[in-house]
Amino acid sequence: MDMSTTMEELEHRRLLELGARGSRQGAGMAEDGAGTSAIAAAAAPATTGGGSSGGAVPHSSDPVESDGQDSATFLRDGARDGIDDDEDDGVEADLFVQVDSLLKPVSATMAMVVALVGVLNSSPVSAGAFSNMMVYEEHEDDSTGTKLAGSLENALIFIALIVGVTTLLFLLYKFRCTKLIYAWLITSVGMLLATFGGLVAYMVILRFDAPMDYGTSTFFLWNFAAVGMRVVFWPAPPIIRQVYLVIVSVLLAWSLTKLPEWTTWSILAAVSVWDLIAVLTPRGPLKGLVEESQRRNEPIPGLVYEADDVKLGLGDFVFYSVLIGRAVLHDVTTVVTCFIAILAGLGMTLLLLAIYQKALPALPISIALGMVFYFTTSALVTPMVELMNQQGAFI
């Protein structure tokens, strides 16, 4: 009897250890539930075996069989929980990869705009491509009310342009005018690379007094624009395509940094509101584009940065960088805080994307955080840093 009980107890302990090991490996150390179950199961055979006589062996074997089934069930539950936790870990890893795959190009775009604004801000050449579209020309001696009213008027014109272009794109896509859309986009990208790219190159040459003849510069500019159109709209190595998309974003953002300060803030706020309307409202044009694309199971023609199954429109790259470019014109501290705020907002947006699993506007959170940090830093942090520098205090 003692030998039988001992063997049964050893077998029972072995099953419990297997169950506990499966639970630890599969369920990721679910200590509360597994620990309580193991203690309760271990108490039953010891009590039964200690109080039994010779005829009690069958009774002691019944709990072992029952506990063996419980242990097997416990092991299966632990493995099932382990699979669920492995899936959760995989989702978290995928989310981290997706966030990382977008933070890098967004950071690179903003860093390049910071460099361009810092280097070319003192250039005698004025880039007024977008400034010429504005009806209100801001002056330093204008009153606050005049600046506010004029900047809002400029923002409305800018938003009207965006609404018109977006609506036209939606209608062309809805009526399957795909070739016309691509012709429009290819021409736009080629002109942007050639004009803005050439202007930036010309300003850099002037800034550093670099030797360059007209023939060589024309040759390089033509190939730069032609290759850009080729890799953005036709099959090409992903890294080259992504580099050109970042360059397009940098050129657009740098040009927009030439807008007056009040107009810049009004446009950023207005574009963020429009992003919410266009993506989330039932009849928003961007929402309509996404739904039509899903219904037809076709990609949306457009300038979209794609990495690890996450897509971000180049407009988001551009307006993030416009905010950073405006911060460069203030001071370094503001640049750092705005940089962090924009990336934090993008991370929050991607987290919401993983939760809701639907298209979301990428501008509102990042732009809102960036503007809050800009004005907070300008009003509170920068004066404190300047005072500490004057007093020779360091933290």
% pLDDT > 90, the chain: 49
316 in catalytic set: yes
Contact 297, 178 (CB under 8 A): no
Q: Alpha-carbon distance 124 to 121, whole Å?
A: 9
Q: What is the DSSP string of 363-391?
A: SHHHHHHHHHHHHHIIIIIHHHHHHHHHH
Tokens of 116: 């361009």
Catalytic choice (275, 308, 309, 331):
275
Tokens of 32: 């509360």
- The predicted-structure confidence for 279-311, as pLDDT tens digits, reads as follows 899 888 888 888 888 898 888 888 899 888 788
Burial 335-365 (b: 16+ CB within 10 A, else e): bebbbebbbebbbebbeebeeeeebbbbbbb
pLDDT at 182: 93
Paired with 304 in beta bridges are: 313
The secondary structure of the chain in percent helix, strand, coil, rounded to multiples of 5, reads 80, 0, 20
With bands split at pLDDT 50, 70 and 90, how would you rate the model's confidence at 13? low
Q: Alpha-carbon distance 272 to 362, whole Å?
A: 9
Where is average pLDDT lowest: 325-329, 340-344, 374-378, 388-392?
A: 388-392
Q: Which of 255, 276, 379, 262 is nearest to 319 (CA)?
A: 255
pLDDT at 30: 33
Query: Does the structure show a pLDDT above 60 at 7?
Result: no
Q: Which amino acid, residue 193?
A: L
- The predicted-structure confidence for 227-263, as pLDDT tens digits, reads as follows 999 999 999 999 999 999 999 999 999 999 989 899 9
- The predicted-structure confidence for 71-103, as pLDDT tens digits, reads as follows 334 334 444 455 455 555 566 667 788 888 999
Output the pTM of the full model.
0.75
Q: Alpha-carbon distance 170 to 333, whole Å?
A: 41
pLDDT at 126: 53
Catalytic choice (67, 70, 77, 316):
316
84 in catalytic set: no
Residue 352 CB partners (closer than 8 Å, separation 6+): 360
pLDDT at 25: 36
Q: Cβ-count burial of 274 within 10 angstroms (0-12 exposed, 13-18 middle, 19+ buried)?
A: buried
- Per-residue three-class SS string for 311-367: EEEHHHHHHHHHHHHHHHCCCHHHHHHHHHHHHHHHHHHHHHHHHHCCCCCCCHHHH
